[in-house]
Structure formats: structure tokens, C-alpha cells
Structure 1
């Protein structure tokens, strides 16, 4: 019998994963997996659990939680040899990466069925200094929202909590002077934010990086130039329609490598988690981890 390790965050999303745990475990047992689970209790737990699962030769790792849980699991897997496939049960507030690969957002058993019947598919991940991300990296005042929203507020309000916090911060957003270097270009100016996307789904918006491909070995990069509040609101409406790529205040490009520096303090957001601060070097690792995808 194959062995699966379920790593779950009991406080993800609306904390429903705890109630569904017995049926999840039963589902995988019935599907032929001897399944054990690890509950996370503090930051970094999922990273340690994923590393231990590989060392103990589990055939499957399952991340049940939100983007933060997935981020930690990926960091526990990325540097290990003999990585097993990774299955995902979306249970967070936004579930950007799960949304990008077409997993059901509100049907836990359907997600389990996809893990059992889906296809392990090699995908790219990003490396930043000594950390890794699977979906998005970003810097600038606007990217602070994902780790500034209190967990209890996310539990009660879900994704709406991010928008509430965003409206609250809009009048106080200030640009940062950032230098971004790739093999083909240098951008050195005041910006509101930069995003380095691996998938098309960012912050619950599926058109923010419309050309992103999980297996092309490249990042899709978006930079929002210094703008006034009215200009920002105009661009935001374009984003909702997927028409922002050609806006003169947006710089868009693809690259395999990128270096970002700043003379001021710019915090970095990795898959919705605080990921340190600039300077940082980013590298796309081509088809580095196998994730179980739904059958097309």
C-alpha cells in the first residue's frame, strides 16, 4: 500500500478543514493510501513536515490549507532529492495557485478525487536567494496587504478582508525607488509595486498575469509605475477587465532571472507571506516540482 502524508493548517480560511478531516482521511484510505497527517501549529511547521515526509519516503504529500501553507510545503520540498508528487486541497482565503490549476474551491472531496485520479505534472517554481515560491512574489506598499490582514478577520470575512484593508490603505500608498535588472533590460525608477508571477491567478484575480505559463521556465513580471490615486483607480478597473498589460503606467515583460535592489526598505511578499526585504535575486527553476493537476 502507498503512503500519503497530509499536512494541514487548521486555521486556514474559515477553519473548515478540521471538520472535514475524518472524511478526507477515509477517502485516501479507500483509495489505497495509508494516510497519516501533520497539523501545523506555528509558522514553519509545514516546511519541516514536508522535509520529513520526503526523508521518510512517503509516496505522496498533500498540502491542505491556503497559499501560505502551500508556500511552506514547497520550501520543505524544493531542495530535497526524490520529491514525491504534491497534491493540494484548497482550504484558504484566496487559494491563488489552486485556482490557477483549476482545483475546486468549495468541494473538498472533489479535490481529493483529483489528487487520486489526476496527473502529476512538472511545473516551474521561483527561487529567491534561499527561499522558494510557487505562485507569486512581489514588493511595494500594495503587496503588504496579504500579511497585514489579521487571520481572524480573514476567517470571518474571507477574501473581502483584503479589499477592506486595501481601501483603508489607498490614501497612504507611497512609491519606492527600485532598480530591477534582467538579462535584457534595466528599470530604475519610482514604482508602486512589482509582481513576479508564475501563474495567472494573483490576489484572487485571474487576469492579472494573463500570459503566465507554469511550465515555460519564465516569470511574468508586472511593474506599476509611480501614479496618482485617480490614475491608480483607473488602472485597477483595467485590471478587472484584463486590459492593463498595455497601459502606459504598467511595465510588463517575461524573464528567467531578475535582480531587484533599493536604497530604501522594500519588503517582499512570497505567496502571500512576508519573505524578507530587498535586495533579492530571482530565478525560475524549470519543471522543478510535480503537482497533481486535474485531467483536462
Structure 2
């Protein structure tokens, strides 16, 4: 008997818009002959449990309709569950959340009709998965898009408080708010494959994908299958310069700023020397004031449905 793909659908994604468009999603998938078993998520952690169940049941494909948080939960479910001789399910994504950064970095179109075409096409490509240990997750948490530390994380905390803006607009407003809350950079010791950096860092982004916050191109040339992370390291910036520097991240041209360094590494350890580490993975809080994090890459750990001709949709 053929097991249908599991469609993990978060009706609260996109400030509840995902629930409103569910009939359209079902119509689009039906028109393409894509059959699945629909399961609506019921709260925090449910998508992870469903991912674990899919592995145990031998499901070949799990499609996640939601935002980055729902996708992150599902990835943790798929990666946490022992395979016991089974094959790990592939991951499909319908980006119906706010930022949809994972989908963007994986070359999955943001437009719903095109995203459904990707599912119907069935083209799979293998991607790397990251794992971050420390903070609230001493045993580790998986991520697909990236880990942000410092200013970036505080921006995310501020954006999450907003109910009147969506996507990139909420993050732009959050940047302005954070300028006044997080102007002094903590001192981190950052250990990379090729050396150690010890200095004030306003922000550290460790990317498997390309974009964070719905608008900020932390790794404009990122490739989620190249077995290494792209890092964007921002040193101390005067308060008056924070907004102009942040604006360069939208175009992906921040590497030309003397305060920003672009590096690559397979493993990263970050230790707080002065201050602490606020951090997130795929927008999910790892810690608000951590002391040390270790981030490592798991090459070719998961198959995703995407374009056959590249990662940039």
C-alpha cells in the first residue's frame, strides 16, 4: 500500500491568513493531482511531533504549510526520530508564513501557485542541516536556514511583538527599536575552522540559507548544499551608523562595509567574554542570555522539493 504524503498545515501562520487560504491550497493541489493526508497543527511543538510520527510510519514526504517556525519544528521532528532502518522523509514547503526565509533560501517560490507546482514536480535536492547546542538546548536543536546572535535576535524579539505589520516591514521597524536597546556590542570569542576572533560583535549570523527577517540577505551567495556555513560578522558600530549598515543587508552588499566580515566555516563555537548571547535558530529562541553555543553542519542530511536548476527561485 502506498502511503500518502503528510501535509502539516499551520492555520495560524501568517497571522492567521494561512487558515483563510486553506481551501485555495486544497484546490491548487487537487488540480495538480497531488494527494496528501492533511493534519492541522494544534499548537507549539505539534509539527515536531508530526515529523517524528512521519518517520516512524515510513512516510516518504512531509509537506509543511506554515512559516519558518513550523518548518523548523518539522525539521527537528524529522531529524530527531531514529530511522531504525527506515528512510528519512523528504521535506516540501508551502510558504504561507510571515518571513518564509527557509523557503527563499531553498529556491522554493513564494507565490503559492508556483510553490504547488514544485510539489507536483517532485524534484528533490539534498541539503545540509545545522545543529546548535547550548543555551536552552544543551542537547542541541536542528535548523535549516540559520542562527542569529546579538542584534539580529533582539530585532526578532521586537518584530514578534508586532501585530500590525507583517514580513520585512515588521523587521525594519524592529531594527529601529533595537538601535536604542542594543547599541553596545558584547565581546565574543568566535572559534572558526581557520582561527579565533575575539572582539565586540554587534551581530553574528551563521547561515545555511541566504536570508533572515524576511528582507535581510545575510548570505547573498549562500548554498545549502555546499557542506559549510556562510557567516556574516558585524563588529561594533556607532549608534548613528547602525541603521545605514543594516540597510546594506537588504541588498546583500554589507561585505563592503569595514565593520562587516564575511567568513565560512563548518563548525563555530561562540563564547561570551563580556555581556551575554541572545540567539535564535530559524526564528526560534535558543537563549536570551546564553554563555556559549556550538554550531555544526550535517552535510546532505535532508532532501527537499525545489527547482532542479538552482537554489534561487
The answer to whether the aligner puts 1:181 opposite 2:197 as a matched pair is: no
Residue pair 1:175, 1:190 contacting (<8 A) in 2 also = yes
Which 4+ stretches in 1 moved above 4 angstroms? 26-34
- Scaled by the length of structure 2, the TM-score of the pair is 0.86
2:172 is matched with which residue? 163
The answer to whether the aligner puts 1:121 opposite 2:131 as a matched pair is: no
1:87 is matched with which residue? 92
2:41 is matched with which residue? 40
The answer to whether the aligner puts 1:244 opposite 2:254 as a matched pair is: yes
- Cα RMSD of the aligned pairs, angstroms, is 2.1
Q: CA deviation at 1:162?
A: 1.8
Q: CA deviation at 1:171?
A: 2.0
- Scaled by the length of structure 1, the TM-score of the pair is 0.91
**C-alpha deviations, 1:87-108, integer Å up to 9, x for none?**
000011111121223323232x
Q: Which runs of 5+ in 2 are unaligned?
A: 134-139
Residue pair 2:162, 2:170 contacting (<8 A) in 1 also = no
SS at match of 2:255: coil
1:225 is matched with which residue? 235
Provide closer, same or farther for how the CA distance between residues 30 and 231 of structure 1 changes in structure 2, counting only shifts above 3 A: closer
Looking at structure 2, the residues matched to 241 and 157 of structure 1 have their Cα atoms a distance apart, in angstroms, of 19
2:283 is matched with which residue? 272
Provide closer, same or farther for how the CA distance between residues 23 and 231 of structure 1 changes in structure 2, counting only shifts above 3 A: closer
1:149 is matched with which residue? 159
Q: CA deviation at 1:15?
A: 2.1
Provide closer, same or farther for how the CA distance between residues 265 and 279 of structure 1 changes in structure 2, counting only shifts above 3 A: same
1:283 is matched with which residue? 296
Looking at structure 2, the residues matched to 248 and 90 of structure 1 have their Cα atoms a distance apart, in angstroms, of 35
1:136 is matched with which residue? 146
Residue pair 2:128, 2:225 contacting (<8 A) in 1 also = yes
Residue pair 2:33, 2:120 contacting (<8 A) in 1 also = no
The answer to whether the aligner puts 1:293 opposite 2:306 as a matched pair is: yes
Q: CA deviation at 1:26?
A: 5.2
1:100 is matched with which residue? 105
SS at match of 1:78: helix
Provide closer, same or farther for how the CA distance between residues 26 and 232 of structure 1 changes in structure 2, counting only shifts above 3 A: closer
Provide closer, same or farther for how the CA distance between residues 232 and 19 of structure 1 changes in structure 2, counting only shifts above 3 A: closer
Aligned residues, how many? 294
Moved more, 236-245 or 182-191: 236-245
Provide closer, same or farther for how the CA distance between residues 244 and 150 of structure 1 changes in structure 2, counting only shifts above 3 A: closer
**C-alpha deviations, 1:197-254, integer Å up to 9, x for none?**
1122222336431221111100001111011022323323433343221322112210
SS at match of 1:286: strand
**C-alpha deviations, 1:100-119, integer Å up to 9, x for none?**
23323232x43122112041
Looking at structure 2, the residues matched to 28 and 242 of structure 1 have their Cα atoms a distance apart, in angstroms, of 34
Q: CA deviation at 1:188?
A: 1.0
Provide closer, same or farther for how the CA distance between residues 168 and 152 of structure 1 changes in structure 2, counting only shifts above 3 A: closer
Residue pair 2:13, 2:98 contacting (<8 A) in 1 also = yes
SS at match of 1:287: strand
